[in-house]
A and B are shown apart, each in its own frame.
Chain A
């Protein structure tokens, strides 16, 4: 399964190309902030699963933290409905720059099965710029880790 197809980074593309500023920022441990939209909870559990003993991302210094103001990575999963759209924008505004936005799961990437719903406000990349897409319903913890690692190794 192709778990890590990516679109070009939309956050400061020039800086990234010329100065390596972004690489510098993400060189050390990444702190993650998790935003669950109108999701079915599956991706949320799999994200939490990454923290538990079997997958244990804390050995890489990755931490799930409570405020987006301290985060390097914003994980977004679930389809976004009209009501939580404004909240997502607000969170994105609060986030420090540069931030990596990761859309997790089929719903985060495309809207998935809920794209037909009457409250659907668009997949994540229609609302905020997305750097990494991790498809799957839900993506396995291995796939989530692989997606983030591939992003970091991208030259």
Chain B
């Protein structure tokens, strides 16, 4: 008999809030289906009635975690149409904000993954170490989320000379904490048993599903928009793309861990570069947006964000198409979850980082067809946590 386990439906990104239905035969997941639209807010349509400057505030709120990546990609698209030369200082500031976002997003993911396998200590640790990063955001931009730093032609706020030592201090304090956390996580035998060989995506799967970001990089495909199509200051900095070959949950975690160090490296280099550039030169003047179309890309913590903007010369776009990375990454569940047991499927779902814990905010415990209560998201997490307990005992 096939049992349907609903996971969802609330999921926070723009087009991907969804209800996963895991079709199970006994313990094994045999198929997976989606139901989306819970979070459809009509952002693309709203943007057609906004001016180019106003759209920054809308795209920032597509996703609270990626609230730099979307404005970043959008700015790239519009600057491509208007052919703007962004001042170097603004480019570096953009990179700093983008990388700080990657830091906080990856730490957030580590915490949630820990929660899913029943290691709530990891959850608390990772989120504790994430707080200093949010403090940095508050120092630089004035808000913990939704930073409003971007504008066409540059950034809104400067990083002053007084702020730089404070930023360095917090970053330096973060490094040993990250070492500690990752050492503890990556050496844990239970975590090895839970994550290795689970939810494998082969390189060919990734190519078929056109997956991006850490999901693709963990399967040996070195796609990183920051390297492939350098934007802002990424072309002027020294850093490397992290890849792994295995494609399982462990590889995805490892890629994210190592990316945190690369991000810290990028921020340090950018800070050093900023110190040499004159203060205050943070924005180019853009008078109007000509007719044309632009494709802007940015590497969000989850992968490539793509914005397509078509302008007819007026002060608002004719069409604004947005593609968030989870839009393609979520589809890979069909490969990574099928054939896994239910408790591992939770983890495979979490490994893609489809924003965070749909499962935690399980609202509907009823199957849409039979109106029968089957199992809700918390049961699913509990199931996964029980499995960890069993493995722990075995050791």
Contact = CB atoms under 8 A, between A and B. Distances in A.
Q: Do chains A and B touch in the complex (CB under 8 A)?
A: yes
Contacts of A110: none
Contacts of B262: none
A48 B107 CA distance: 14
A138 B143 CA distance: 9
Nearest to A33: B361
Contact of A40 (B45, B64, B128): B64
Given A42-B146, A66-B360, A120 B38 contact: no
A118 B43 CA distance: 9
B26 interface: no
A96 to B, nearest CB: 16
B376 interface: yes
Given A54-B128, A87-B364, A44 B12 contact: yes
A135 to B, nearest CB: 14
A77 B253 CA distance: 30
A119 B17 CA distance: 14
Interface string B106-133: 0010010000000000011001100100
B43 A117 contact: yes
Contact of A119 (B41, B131, B145): B41
A35 B42 contact: no
Chain B, interface size category, equals 35 or more
A36 interface: yes
Given A38-B17, A39-B12, A137-B146, A116 B39 contact: no
B23 interface: no
B314 interface: no
B137 to A, nearest CB: 12
A91 interface: yes
A86 B144 CA distance: 32
A93 B156 CA distance: 46
A133 interface: no
B57 A46 contact: no
Contact of A42 (B46, B67, B111, B127): B67
A128 B87 CA distance: 49
A71 B9 CA distance: 20
Contacts of A116: 42, 46, 49
A41 B40 contact: no
Contact of A41 (B37, B43, B64): B64
B121 to A, nearest CB: 11
Given A36-B12, A52-B124, A41 B38 contact: no
Nearest to B49: A116
Nearest to A141: B144
- Interface of A, secondary structure class, is mixed
Nearest to A69: B365
B127 A41 contact: no
Contacts of A67: 365, 376, 378
Contacts of A79: 41
A54 B125 CA distance: 10
A113 B45 contact: no
B127 A138 contact: no
Given A41-B64, A43-B64, A91 B42 contact: no
Given A41-B355, A42-B67, A43-B64, A66 B378 contact: yes
A118 B145 CA distance: 26
Interface string B317-332: 0000000000000000
Nearest to A114: B41
B61 A42 contact: yes
Contact of A87 (B40, B124, B145, B363): B363
A46 B39 contact: no
B339 to A, nearest CB: 27
Interface in A48-105: 48-49, 52-54, 66-67, 78-79, 81, 83-84, 87, 90-91
B10 interface: yes
A42 B148 CA distance: 14
A133 B127 CA distance: 26
A81 B46 contact: no
Contact of B38 (A34, A54, A81, A138): A81
Nearest to B127: A52
A41 B361 contact: no
Given A46-B145, A66-B362, A41 B12 contact: yes
Nearest to B64: A42
Contacts of B38: 38, 81, 83-84, 87
Nearest to B363: A87
B49 A91 contact: no
A45 interface: yes
A35 B10 CA distance: 8
B6 to A, nearest CB: 12
Given A38-B40, A52-B127, 8 more contacts: A37-B39, A44-B361, A52-B111, A66-B360, A66-B362, A67-B376, A81-B41, A119-B42
6 contacts: A42-B64, A42-B145, A81-B39, A84-B10, A87-B9, A87-B38
